[in-house]
């Protein structure tokens, strides 16, 4: 295997800066870092589907780890991260992947161009995490639980004209999320973009008035010859009415603004993408020549004890990827914000709506009301409503109905009462309708309808010891059937935490008998380092983080996690 020259070069550059300070202890620099490791010991359990993968059948062990170092001195910011995957099922839940390499490196330098006008210039080379606007047009980010690290590998320039105008431009290629090739390589298509953002303050001497944060962005993606060759060879096999001439270059534009006036805040963004070959899940199994757009707006009103947020989004074929050959979470250039509540409790979070880039129209309403907030008593109410449906219902139905082509609907209510610092009670209810056929690609299955009451109680015995108890029940006639969840967590601050939970399939639809999914764990924290050892028996399902979702298979075994910052 040919050794990548870029990795050796990065080591030399980084240590050439580090050596003077590390050797003589001068220069006033700072060296920081973090370490994360997830290790799993697999115990086969064919009854729940924890079987027939390399880890369960023969390897019995898998792990992922990340070690990052960051050094700052002389106006430079230098970072390096080492990644290790050993018999890992993180990239592909049904397979095993092993590889070692440099997962990220960057060198950043900031210059003060004009001290009087506060003009600064910033240059970065290497792996870049950034976004334009809300991220619809472009967002390079990392989500380790979902095996996503789509950093832009290239260069970026940022020029700030004081506090009022920022101009930035970047170009590079996106890091791969493909174990079949090399996770430490990049996709071949080239991505370039630019954005201009401003700040306008129209306020009087008392500070009352209007503030505007406008912006405009553009992104261009250029296909490489190899990718274009694969696309052309596919298109020439289509029926005449389905053929088209693919383009090398695709352009996307975005205009956005945040307006703040008193208690109101309004964000709006409109994005448009030129026509290109896209994989839109056409029933014929062919690529389509489609342009696309995305509209998103959010309006918030807040005052003491009350806040309300209303959101609307419409997406139509806004598929921003490195190429039409990439699917699922691979090759995503932009990030479409989710329009469903990000639930934290186990059963309310079991079914979560992933963004549909091919087409969806959604509304969401969130209301918070806190009528009591005193030294001893705090009472609050939270209500959320989400409704997401396919655009097909608008295009094909003469009599409009929200139930046609429904993707997701949720009613969520929660109330919290806190008495001094002694105890806290949370109780709530969730109603869901979830289109499992679309979100989990399971043809012919019905919409999952759930009714979930839940409660949480926390009690402090003294300054160090506390107990937290959760209880949840999901009533449903679809998928796996109804569930009961119970959790108890005992904490001894600041170091120890003990957890015991059980998720019971009380009315099973897929298992031959009632199944218990136990979890027992202990966490120890010392300074900025945390160790967690758990036995976990987990049902298969969809796991979501920030609106991005992926399938997680059933798991049975022991997990050991380490997180540390230094």
Q: Summarize pLDDT for 274-306 with one digit per residue, the tens.
A: 999 999 888 888 999 999 999 999 999 999 999
* Structural domain includes residue 6: yes
Does residue 9 or residue 82 have the better pLDDT?
Answer: 82
Nearest Cα to 346, choosing from 472, 480, 220? 472
What number is the average pLDDT over the span 393-400?
40
Is 4 a residue whose pLDDT tops 70? Answer: no
Compute CA distances 242 → 223, 237, 343, 345, 431, whole Å.
21, 10, 42, 46, 42
Given this model, what pLDDT does residue 63 score? 95
Given this model, what pLDDT does residue 26 score? 47
What phi-psi label fits residue 181: left (phi over 0), alpha (psi between -120 and 50 degrees) or beta?
alpha
Question: Which of 291, 324, 345 finishes a domain?
Answer: 291
Given this model, what pLDDT does residue 431 score? 97
Q: How confident is the model at residue 23 (pLDDT cuts 50, 70, 90)?
A: very low
Tell me which residue range forms the domain holding 51: 1-86
What are phi and psi for residue 230, nearest 5 degrees?
A: -65, -40
Question: Which of 228, 260, 291 finishes a domain?
Answer: 291
151 and 275: one domain? yes
* Structural domain includes residue 306: no
Tell me the per-residue pLDDT of 515-540, one tens digit each, with 9 for 90 and over.
Answer: 899 999 999 999 999 999 999 998 88
Is 31 a residue whose pLDDT tops 50? Answer: yes
28 and 173: one domain? no
Q: Give CA 144 to chain center in angstroms.
A: 9
Range from 40-49, 145-154, 173-182, 447-456 that averages highest in pLDDT: 447-456
Given this model, what pLDDT does residue 342 score? 87
Tell me the per-residue pLDDT of 335-380, one tens digit each, with 9 for 90 and over.
Answer: 888 889 988 899 999 998 888 899 999 999 999 999 988 888 999 9
193 and 140: one domain? yes
51 and 180: one domain? no
70 and 208: one domain? no
Given this model, what pLDDT does residue 179 score? 66
Given this model, what pLDDT does residue 374 score? 87
Q: How confident is the model at residue 546 (pLDDT cuts 50, 70, 90)?
A: low
Tell me the per-residue pLDDT of 220-266, one tens digit each, with 9 for 90 and over.
Answer: 999 999 999 999 999 999 999 999 999 999 999 999 999 999 899 99
150 and 285: one domain? yes
Question: Which of 229, 262, 291 finishes a domain?
Answer: 291
- Which residues 6+ apart lie within 8 Å of 280 measured at CB? 288, 290, 317, 319, 358
119 and 65: one domain? no
252 and 152: one domain? yes
Is 3 a residue whose pLDDT tops 50? Answer: no
Please say whether the beta carbons of 71 and 29 come within 8 A.
yes
Q: How confident is the model at residue 394 (pLDDT cuts 50, 70, 90)?
A: very low
Please say whether the beta carbons of 323 and 331 come within 8 A.
yes
* Structural domain includes residue 348: no
Q: How confident is the model at residue 65 (pLDDT cuts 50, 70, 90)?
A: very high
Quote the tokens at residue 50. 């924890």
DSSP letter assigned to residue 483: E
* Structural domain includes residue 463: no
Residue 220 CA to residue 224 CA, distance in Å, equals 13
Given this model, what pLDDT does residue 547 score? 57
79 and 120: one domain? no
Which residue in this structure is represented by tokens 């079914």? 351
Given this model, what pLDDT does residue 264 score? 94
Nearest Cα to 546, choosing from 133, 38, 144? 144
* Structural domain includes residue 247: yes
28 and 79: one domain? yes
* Structural domain includes residue 69: yes
122 and 244: one domain? yes
Residues 431, 434, 435, CA angle at the centre, nearest 5°? 160
Given this model, what pLDDT does residue 145 score? 81
160 and 259: one domain? yes
Does residue 176 or residue 564 have the better pLDDT?
Answer: 564
Given this model, what pLDDT does residue 545 score? 61
Is 174 a residue whose pLDDT tops 90? Answer: yes
* Structural domain includes residue 411: no
User: Total structural domains in the chain?
Assistant: 2
* Structural domain includes residue 453: no
């Amino acid at each position: 295997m040919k050794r990548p020259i870029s990795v050796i070069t990065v080591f030399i550059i980084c240590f050439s800066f580090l050596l003077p300070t590390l050797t003589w202890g001068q220069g006033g620099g700072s060296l920081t870092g973090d370490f994360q490791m997830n290790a799993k010991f697999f115990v086969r359990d064919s009854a729940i589907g924890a079987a027939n993968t390399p880890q369960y059948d023969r390897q019995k062990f898998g792990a992922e780890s990340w070690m990052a170092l960051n050094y700052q001195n002389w106006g430079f910011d230098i970072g390096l991260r080492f990644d290790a995957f050993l018999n890992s099922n993180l990239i592909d839940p049904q397979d095993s992947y092993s590889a070692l390499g440099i997962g990220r490196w960057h060198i950043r330098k900031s210059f003060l161009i004009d001290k009087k006008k506060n003009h600064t210039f910033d240059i970065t080379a290497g792996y870049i995490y950034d976004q334009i606007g809300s991220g619809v047009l472009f967002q390079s980010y990392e989500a380790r639980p979902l095996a996503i690290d789509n950093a832009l590998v290239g260069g970026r320039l940022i020029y700030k004209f004081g506090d009022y105008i920022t101009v930035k431009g970047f170009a590079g290629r996106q890091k791969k999320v493909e174990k079949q090739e090399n996770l430490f390589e990049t996709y071949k298509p080239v991505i370039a973009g630019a954005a201009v953002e401003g700040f306008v303050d129209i306020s009087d001497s008392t500070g009352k008035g209007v503030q505007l944060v406008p912006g405009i962005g553009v992104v261009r993606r250029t296909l490489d010859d190899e990718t274009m060759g694969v696309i052309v060879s596919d298109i020439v096999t289509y029926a005449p009415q389905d053929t088209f001439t693919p383009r090398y270059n695709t352009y996307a534009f975005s205009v956005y603004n945040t307006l703040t006036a008193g208690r109101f805040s309004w964000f709006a963004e409109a994005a448009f993408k030129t026509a290109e070959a896209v994989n839109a899940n056409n029933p014929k199994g062919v690529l389509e020549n489609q342009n696309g757009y995305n509209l998103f707006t959010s309006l918030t009103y807040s005052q003491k004890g009350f806040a309300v947020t209303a959101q609307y989004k419409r997406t139509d074929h806004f598929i921003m990827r490195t190429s039409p050959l990439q699917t699922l979470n691979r090759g995503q250039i932009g990030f479409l914000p989710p329009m469903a509540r990000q639930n934290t409790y186990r059963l309310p979070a079991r079914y979560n709506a992933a963004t549909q880039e091919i087409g969806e129209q959604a509304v969401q309403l969130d209301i918070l009301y806190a009528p009591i907030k005193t030294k001893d008593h705090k009472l609050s109410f939270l209500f959320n409503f989400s409704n997401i449906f396919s655009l097909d219902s608008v295009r094909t139905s003469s009599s409009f109905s929200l139930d046609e082509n429904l993707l997701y609907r949720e009613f969520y209510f929660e109330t919290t009462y806190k008495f001094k610092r002694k105890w806290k009670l949370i109780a709530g209810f969730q109603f869901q309708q979830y289109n499992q056929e679309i979100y989990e690609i399971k043809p012919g299955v019905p919409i999952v309808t759930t009714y979930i009451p839940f409660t949480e109680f926390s009690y402090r015995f003294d300054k160090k010891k506390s107990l937290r108890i959760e209880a949840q029940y999901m009533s449903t006639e679809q998928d796996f059937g109804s569930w009961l969840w119970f959790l108890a967590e005992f904490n001894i601050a600041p170091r120890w935490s003990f957890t015991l939970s059980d998720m019971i399939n009380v009315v099973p639809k897929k298992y031959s008998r009632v199944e218990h999914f136990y979890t027992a764990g202990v966490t120890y924290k010392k300074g900025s380092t945390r160790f967690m050892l758990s036995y976990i028996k987990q049902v298969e399902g969809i796991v979501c983080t920030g609106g991005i979702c992926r399938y997680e298979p059933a798991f049975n075994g022991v997990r050991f996690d380490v997180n540390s910052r230094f």
